[in-house]
A and B are shown apart, each in its own frame.
Chain A
Amino acid sequence: MTRFFFDLEDDGGLLQDELGAEFTSLGQAEIHAKQIAFDVAKDLAARNQRVKVFVREGSTNVLEVEVAADVKK
């Protein structure tokens, strides 16, 4: 098991994850990061145009997930 940290960036700024969560693989951590990004984007749709989740192992960024609302008028 590896502990990954999920830092969240939205229109309110960057929030560092100090707790992290353990996953068996980076693939599982990626699924979790997508779930966070979709959940936060949905929850804060009124305020956010884009949400990013940076996945860290220790201090090293290992992947990044971005969800953006592309609004056309």
Chain B
Amino acid sequence: MFPSAAQALVTKLRVSNRLDAEDLKALHELPIDGRSVAARQTVVHDGDRPSQCCLLIDGFMCRSKNTLDGQRQILSLHIAGEIPDLQSLHLKVMDHNLSTLTACKLGFVSHDAMSRLTRARPNVAAALWRETLIDAAIFREWIVNVGRRTALVRLAHLISETRTRLKAIGRASDGHFQFPVTQPDLADCLGLSPVHVNRVMQELRTDGLIEVQKFSFHVLDGEKLEERAQFDASYLHLTPSS
């Protein structure tokens, strides 16, 4: 197991949940099988019946579905500390793909171990439930983004959301964060063509809102970017709840 596996989970859970010393002890004792996985690998496939959950320790993952003609729609992005297929604990058949976008460190936790943890620590069970509800809140925001916002607002919103989520786990500061996804990936998140993403990315740069070098993002004017993005972080529920 990677030494930071349980810590990544704890850091993420504590963003939105209050956990006591016994909860933290139980989380640190969770048996986690750590593995390094290369970028662009599908870890869990649509139709699979997983017997374990996948904890993202480091890197970026996505959940996606493909159309019959092979077009991919990315449904959600995932950052360190999240368990993107947590629902597989209760919904036995996967209805989408879970893939790495970048090289990732992953931790696998058996469903048996997760079930034992949630039975023993109801507060942890509540925290995990809350995480899935926040997931759903993010899905709702993405539906609005893809369905009703212009390309520029969609991209600005995605950048604002990613920055806010990374900042909450200590992986973004002073407007700087690493977001190593390609323009085709962004296009699949936003329901746009890569060329269109390139066009609006250029506009955000020209307007002095962001700088992008390789995969390093720098938000130059966060307030203005969020205004352009129509971004209101309340749906991310970043305040701990008991």
Residue positions of A touching B, CB distance < 8 A: 6, 8, 10, 12, 15, 17-19, 21, 32, 35-36, 39-40, 43-44, 53
Contacts and interface: CB of A to CB of B under 8 A. Distances in A.
A40 B199 contact: yes
Given A8-B199, A21-B194, A36-B195, 5 more contacts: A8-B195, A12-B203, A15-B195, A36-B193, A43-B152
B10 interface: no
Contacts of B203: 12
A44 B202 CA distance: 14
A39 B194 CA distance: 12
Nearest to B200: A43
B198 interface: yes
B183 A15 contact: no
Given A12-B203, A43-B150, A43-B151, A19 B183 contact: yes
B196 A36 contact: yes
A17 B150 contact: no
A36 B197 CA distance: 11
Given A12-B203, A15-B202, A43 B196 contact: yes
User: What 4 pairs across the A-B complex have the smallest Cβ distances?
Assistant: A43-B151, A6-B195, A36-B193, A17-B195
A7 B157 CA distance: 25
Interface residues of B, number: 15
Contacts of B183: 19
B193 A32 contact: yes
Interface in B165-212: 182-184, 192-196, 198-199, 202-203
Contacts of A17: 194-195, 198
Most buried by A among B184, B192, B193, B203: B193
B193 A35 contact: yes
Most buried by A among B183, B193, B195: B195
Contacts of B199: 8, 10, 12, 15, 40
A53 B182 CA distance: 21
A19 B184 contact: yes
Contacts of B202: 15
A10 B192 CA distance: 17
A40 B184 contact: no
A53 B195 CA distance: 10
A19 B185 CA distance: 12
A6 B196 CA distance: 10
Contact of B193 (A12, A15, A18, A39): A39
Interface in B132-162: 150-152
